[in-house]
Structure 1
């Protein structure tokens, strides 16, 4: 995967999370035809870029936390 497509996927994942449409890591992996580990790395990369992404265990979804 080249840099541009990787960045586009990161942007798309961030958009899905911010709109509460990111269902699961498994669904994202299937959509992008990659492994769940790749999606986890992408989430970590987004966090490293400064996005405050968290996971709610009760609702079983990812979300962007507001900066406090």
Structure 2
């Protein structure tokens, strides 16, 4: 995957998380046509960049907490 394509996917993933549309690793992996491990790495990269991303068991989706 090229840098630009990966960067666009990361931005799209962050947008989905901010809107509360990421319900499971499997769903995200299916949407991006990649493995669940790749999605985990992408989420960890977003966390490393400073985004406070967590999985909410009550809402059953990934969320971004704003501080």
* TM-score bracket relative to the smaller structure: over 0.9
How many equivalent residue pairs? 67
The aligned counterpart of 2:61 is 61
Task: Give structure 1 regions of 4+ aligned residues with deviation exceeding 3 angstroms.
Answer: none
Pairwise CA distance, 1:14: 0.3
Show structure 2 runs of 5+ residues with no match.
none
The answer to whether 1:5 aligns with 2:5 is yes
- Alpha carbon RMSD of aligned pairs, Å? 0.9
- TM-score normalised by the chain length of structure 1: 0.91
The answer to whether 1:44 aligns with 2:44 is yes
